[in-house]
Structure 1
Amino acid sequence: MFSLFSKIPSVSTKELETRLDKKIVLLDVRTPAEFKGGHIPQAINKPLNKMNTYQGKEKEVYLICQSGMRSKKAAKTLKNKGYDVINVRGGMSQWSGTIKRGK
């Protein structure tokens, strides 16, 4: 079981950018409206309030939100479900790479 004291691994937005060519799973936990406003092209929108229903087949999942707080909560939820999670520090507010608008 996940304890409050176990650390969630994290990467910077720059580190994330170097990993995107490796076919990683990146979940954007912001609201659908925030997601449509601009997101990383490979990201899949899975809002924080729906995280407990996530059933991806991959073991390793990267999580991003606007600032890093919601993705940290989402990481705890998924870690409890047995996923290896990596939080993206700073979130979209720190992202300087390509952004896609719309769905």
Structure 2
Amino acid sequence: MKQITATQVNRLLNEGKLLTIIDVREVNEVAAGKIPGAVNIPLRLIEFRMHELDKSKEYILVCHSGGRSGRAMPFLESHGFNVMNLTGGMLAWEGMVE
């Protein structure tokens, strides 16, 4: 399983890198704050919304603690997507939120 830390993601964002982040938490969880620019696709809807994703992009998956995003990874990988998990999820996130 490919992983990336919250510190690495925050550094890349601060350097101006364009990252494609998918937040798999529920809508009410995301309402409390998400990583700037992250797209919310709740885990239960990944199967139905993966047509919105581009297989040529790399995606960083995030949830509250890393568990749900870790479950989304093998599913998306099995459909040809390039994904990595943000270890520790939003609990590890110390950057800005929107």
TM-score by length of 2: 0.89
1:22 partnered with 2:26: no
Alpha-carbon separation, structure 1, partners of 2:71 and 2:80: 15
Residue type at the aligned position of 2:10: E
Alpha-carbon separation, structure 2, partners of 1:64 and 1:92: 7
The equivalences for 1:18-97 within 5 A come to 18-20=11-13, 21-53=16-48, 54-55=50-51, 56-57=53-54, 58-97=56-95
Q: CA deviation at 1:18?
A: 2.0
Alpha-carbon separation, structure 2, partners of 1:83 and 1:22: 20
RMSD: 1.0
CA-to-aligned-CA distance 1:37-85 (integer Å, 9 cap, x gap): 1111111000000111212124311000000000001111110110111
TM-score by length of 1: 0.85
Aligned length: 93
Residue type at the aligned position of 1:37: A
The equivalences for 1:3-22 within 5 A come to 8-20=1-13, 21-22=16-17
Stretches of structure 2 that go unaligned for 5 or more consecutive residues are: none
> Does the residue aligned with 1:27 lie in a helix, a strand or coil?
strand
